[in-house]
Structure formats: C-alpha cells, structure tokens
Amino acid sequence: MADRPLRVLLDGTPLLGARTGIGRYTVALSEELASMSEVDTRAVAFTLRGWRRLRHVLPHGVRARGMPVAARLLRKAWLRSQLPPVELFAGPTDVVHGTNFVLPGRFRAAGVVTIHDLAFLDAPEELAPSDHELPRLVRRGARLADAICTPTNAVADQVAERLDVDRGKIIVTPLGVNPAWFTARPPDPERRKELGLPDKYLLFAGAPGPRKGLHWLQQAHEAAPDLPDLVFVGPGSFSVGSRSRHVGYLSDVNLRRVVAGASALVLPSRDEGFGLPVLEALASDVPVVCTDIPALREVAGNCASLVPYEDVDGLVEALRMAVSDPHAVATSAARRAHVANFTWRACAELTVAAYRQASTKH
C-alpha cells in the first residue's frame, strides 16, 4: 500500500441536503482530501432518492460510487452485522469513513467514524423517528471502528467514557474556517433590504432544535426591549415575533455578509460538539455570546462571553455588553489570531493520520 495512495471511501450523504454543521464539515474535508496526493478519495451516498446528485456536489477529484439503496434498511442490517458491506456497492477500498455518526458495514476495509457530539444519548426523545436506532448504531460503530474522529477534546473525553472505548483510538480533528471569513463585510443597504435585515441585529446561525436553546434566547430577548432585533439564519422553521425574524437558508456569500453585519452572534446551545458559527463570527470580528459548556469553552478560547445555560439575566447582560462594547472581551487581533489556529487543511491532515492509524491496526 506504501507505493500507492490510500483509497478512502467517505459517506457523502450529508452533502445532499441543506448544509449546516455536518454538511459543511463533509464538503470542506472532501475538498482538502481531494488536493492531497497520499489519498484517493471516493464518496458514496446512502439514499434511494437523490443519490445521483452526489456526483454533482462533490469537489473536483472526488469520485462518486454506489447505487440507490435505502439508508433505513442499511441501518437495520448494520445494527446486527457487517452485512451488507459497503464495498459491495461502492467497490474495494482501504478505509471507510462514516462522516455522520454511523460506521457502514465493511468487508476488508478499515473503519473510521466521526462522532460529532453525544446529544443523542442525553436526549434520545428529541431524535427524529428515523433516528431512533442511532444510539445503538453509534455504540456499535464506536466499538467496531479502528479509529474515531471527534471535533473537540471535550467530545473525545465523553466518547471514551460514555461509549466505553479506548481514548487512544480517538483522534481529535478540529474543524476549520474558510479564509473568506476573515475578509467578510456587512451587507450594503441594497442587500440588507433584499434580505429583510434591520439596521442593527443579534444573530443566531444554524438549524433549530431542542438542544439549541432558542427558548432561552427568546426569553432573554423579550426581557430586554433595548436589545436590537433578533435574526435567525438557517434551514427549518423558527418561532418569530415582532422583534425577531427568520431570513431563511442563505448562500455562503450571503451568510458571511449577514454574520459580518451582526451586532453579535449568539449560540445558546444546551449541547454542542464544536460550534463552527462561533469561529466564523470571530473571524469576521463580530462579538460572540455562547453557552458555558465544555466544547464551546474549548473552541471559543478567551474570545467569547460565556453564559451558564438558561441564565436569562446573564444572557441579557452579556448581549448588552456585546452591543455596547464590541471589543470588551477580545480585540480584533486576538479574535483573528485565535481563529487562525483552525484550518480545514489541519483537519484533513489529522483525519488522514486517523486513516493511517486505522489501516495499520486493521
């Protein structure tokens, strides 16, 4: 194997929907892997509908593999055994990488799985009906994997303890920030009007869900009428009122503009594995207010205001400070110096190290 690139098969299914955290991770990782001579990257999609679209959303140099197959049926089978092995419909490979919690069944390939967080263990009742078997699937995949990737040390420690796996087979692969975020500029008046943005606004970027703490954010916002309007960006349905609005799912270019124009970005999550919007806002020199939980402490460094979960008064105070004194917590230089430590290239290099560790073990 030393005289040829390592053949890697990625689960590219997250590339097919609206891209929030995991989709953005998968596309950025695949783009970096495609530029690395030591790996030959292919991708497969586990879906009956839309699987043909995979070849149109993959970066240049990554080939689509596979055939239409229902993820639901595969997951049921993989709960019990390695059958059917992914090589059956995607061809021979050296490493299979489950990018989205689930490790596909394999025949001869080494297995790597990315576990982004353990929210599914803490609140299984919040899982979609199609994901009710996810806790068992992830436990089984973690046990069978030759290597596990996590985005933070906080998640790595949780995975080792709660899924009872050797900490030595977990490789931390922090996510990266696209360099375009460092030069992001607020929207001009015409674009601001087109997007329906107020002159000043607080911003939440991401998909809604019970663990995102939006009830807490809205409670704090309603308690402080002096704060700017609240804007939600992302796919899905948000509860909005007279001082809040949802501008929908935006292109990367428009997302950067909207983030750069915010008075502050707020991430009030009960649980996060990484919290990419935190770094993207800091790169754009926008103040960040987020929950004081292990992963966000790790990612934000000393550059964000951290508030205990569901502390309404604390959140109001932190938001007021961010609006009135945007550099109270960190200077522009400190923010950008911190974010510069997080690159997709580094993420890919650490991931390739995980592939090599897995293939050596297997």
Three-class SS of residue 9? strand
Q: Is 290 exposed, middle or buried (0-12, 13-18, 19+ CB in 10 A)?
A: buried
Residue-wise pLDDT tens digits, 168-200: 999 999 999 999 999 999 999 999 999 999 999
* pLDDT higher than 80, residue 129: no
pLDDT of residue 64: 83
pLDDT of residue 168: 94
The DSSP symbol for 113 reads: E
Edge to edge, what strands does the sheet with 244-246 contain? 244-246, 229-233, 201-205, 264-267, 288-291, 305-307
Q: What residue ranges do the domains of the chain occupy?
A: 6-176+343-361, 179-339
Domains 6-176+343-361 and 179-339 share a fold: yes
> pLDDT above 70 covers what percent of the chain?
97
Distance, C-alpha 289 to centroid of its chain? 18
CATH class as words, domain 6-176+343-361: alpha beta
pLDDT of residue 63: 85
* pLDDT higher than 80, residue 1: no
CATH-assigned architecture of domain 179-339: 3-Layer(aba) Sandwich (3.40)
Q: How far apart are the C-alpha atoms of 333 and 32, rounded to whole Å?
A: 27
Q: How far apart are the C-alpha atoms of 266 and 202, rounded to whole Å?
A: 7
* pLDDT higher than 70, residue 136: yes
**Long-range contacts of the stretch 48-56 (C-beta < 8 A, 24+):** 50/16, 51/16, 53/16, 54/12, 54/15, 54/16
pLDDT of residue 82: 76
The DSSP symbol for 14 reads: G
* pLDDT higher than 70, residue 2: no
pTM, 2 dp = 0.92
